[in-house]
Amino acid sequence: MKLIRDPVHGYIEVPDRLLPVISNPLFQRLRYVKQTALAYMVYPGMNHSRFEHSLGVMHLSLEFLKYIKENSSLEFLDQELMELIATTAMLHDVGHLPFSHTFENALQVAKRIYGVDVFERDKKTHVILGTQLVESGLGSELEKSFRTFEDPVKFITRVLLETPSNKEEKLAHLIISNFIDADRSDYLLRDSYYAGVEYGQFDIERLKRFLFFENDMLVVLSKILPIVEQFLLARMYMFQNVYFHSVVGMYNAILSQAIAQLLRDGYLVVPTEVKDFLVFDDNFVVSKLQLVRHELRNAIMYRQGFKRIKIEPGPSCIDKLESMKKEIYEDVRSSDGLLVYHEFNDVPYREEKDEAVYILTPHGVERLKRISPVIGSLSEIRKVVVGYHVSREDLGRKYEKILTECGD
């Protein structure tokens, strides 16, 4: 067992079985992928990496499992299975490209604006890349660590691809990827710690003690309904104020634009081999920025030269912008990225056929919306940000007009 000091969780105790994975360069690489891309433009403390986040998710998954095992008397959940689930949790982001979601957005920009179809899959890019990397780069370590499992790599990939095939994998999936899970728990606590904002905090000590696994569902005791609400609200506030902050959004849009141009021009290629993936980190992308026009580089590096327009569009405005997409994309393209356009949206909570937060009440298991008017009241967050370089005030005026007329 190895102790790692973590400012969010205090000490993280790493079981020995996980050490070879942590030492592998594929995992160490996550030190050089920022958790929240350019959020440090507004919140200067947000320089934290996917590396520490991944350790935190691993830690929380072990904590969750400890209490779930007790609360639901799960005999099948032995120490080795717990550690395999924790390893899966730890690897959930191993396939993230530089600047994480900003690069994934750049792939879309490259396609939409420049017609360059670099990498398209029906699932999230980082999940697909991640499972490929686990298969090709971590197989032998995993097999040595988890000897009683026939195929630990299969376990991990099935869970990460959201195709669990048995009870054990279902539990793992619910711990790692769910409305309330170890991943979200860690990033809310961690991102708000580094941003220095309190609204991302919630009572993790209480939450983790009242989780159950019943009938293949992750279930929460009704007495902690306030914590569940607090959790989902915390997430909503983090989206509204941090991840979707209009200044953060504009700089990420400019970075996406720059990456898209680098992809278009062949200066960046999404790697498929472990060897190439290893050096494909934030530093690598930054070192290529000298190849894009200086207005983009100066904006991304030094906050120079761009202004922004922002709205929270209503339904009719969304329709109107949708109908103008072709023109907007043309303006972005013809200005060579001196105009950028980005739409944000997130649904704070949604219940679908098999997906919901399940609450264990005295009258049985209920879906969250049935018993929480607060959560029932939450609606989709939508924002539109337009950025333009000061040398293109003409575009600024055009979009100022469009958005003002369109806005609520």
Residues that bind a copy of itself (CB under 8 A): 3-8, 10-11, 23, 25, 28-29, 31-32, 40, 42-45, 47-49, 51-52, 55, 193-199, 201-203, 205-206, 209, 226-227, 229-230, 233, 237, 240-241, 278-279, 283-284, 286-287, 290, 298, 301-304, 373-374, 376-379
What's the closest the beta carbon of residue 228 comes to a copy of itself, in angstroms? Answer: 11
Q: Which of 77, 92, 128, 381 is nearest to 249 (CA)?
A: 381
CB of 49 to a copy of itself, least distance (A): 6
Shortest Å, Cβ 205 to a copy of itself? 5
Pairing of strands 381-389, 306-311: antiparallel
Q: How far is the CB of 203 from a copy of itself (least distance, A)?
A: 5
CB of 371 to a copy of itself, least distance (A): 10
Nearest one of 278, 285, 382, 297 to 337, comparing CA atoms:
297
CA angle 128/381/187 to nearest 5° reads: 50
Q: Which is nearer to a copy of itself, 173 or 310 (CB)?
A: 310
Q: How far, rounded to the nearest angstrom, does the alpha carbon of residue 328 sit from its chain's CA centroid?
A: 27
What number of other Cβ atoms are within 10 A of residue 407's Cβ?
14
Give whichever of 157 and 372 is closer to a copy of itself, judged by the CB atom. 372
What's the min distance (Å) between Cβ of 287 and a copy of itself?
4
Amino acid, single-letter form, for residue 261: Q
Taking the C-alpha atoms of residue 121 and residue 221, their distance in angstroms, rounded to an integer, is 38
Smallest Cα–Cα separation from 35: which of 50, 25, 45? 50
In the bound complex, what is the minimum distance in angstroms from residue 402's beta carbon to a copy of itself?
A: 17
How far, in whole angstroms, is CA 300 from its chain's centroid? Answer: 21
CB of 6 to a copy of itself, least distance (A): 6
- Name which of 98 and 173 has its Cβ closer to a copy of itself: 98
| Residue (115 or 373) nearer to a copy of itself, CB | 373
In angstroms, the CA 280 to CA 326 distance is: 32
Shortest distance in whole angstroms from residue 148 CB to a copy of itself: 23
CB atoms within 10 A of CB 335: 17
Q: Which is nearer to a copy of itself, 172 or 238 (CB)?
A: 238
CB atoms near residue 305 (< 10 Å): 17
Task: Report in angstroms how near the CB of residue 278 gets to a copy of itself at its nearest.
Answer: 8
Nearer to a copy of itself, 29 or 126 (CB): 29
Nearest CA among 152, 26, 154 for reference residue 93: 26
Question: Nearer to a copy of itself by C-beta: 197 or 324?
Answer: 197
Rounded to an integer, what distance in angstroms lies between the CA atom of residue 74 and that of residue 148?
Answer: 18
Residue 40 or 329 with smaller CB distance to a copy of itself? 40
Q: Compare residues 116 and 381 and give the one whose CB is closer to a copy of itself.
A: 381
Q: How far apart are CA 338 and CA 331, in angstroms?
A: 9
Closer to a copy of itself by Cβ: residue 159 or 289:
289
CA–CA distance, 386 with 44 (Å, rounded to integer): 23
User: CA of 381: how far to CAs of 132, 228, 235, 396, in Å?
Assistant: 33, 19, 12, 24
The residue count for the chain: 408
In whole angstroms, the minimum distance from the beta carbon of 13 to a copy of itself comes to 9
Nearer to a copy of itself, 72 or 201 (CB): 201
Contact 87, 17 (CB under 8 A): yes
- Contact (Cβ atoms closer than 8 angstroms) between residue 71 and residue 211: yes
94 contacts: CB under 8 Å, gap ≥ 6? 26, 27, 30, 54, 130, 133, 134
Q: Are 310 and 384 in contact (CB under 8 A)?
A: yes
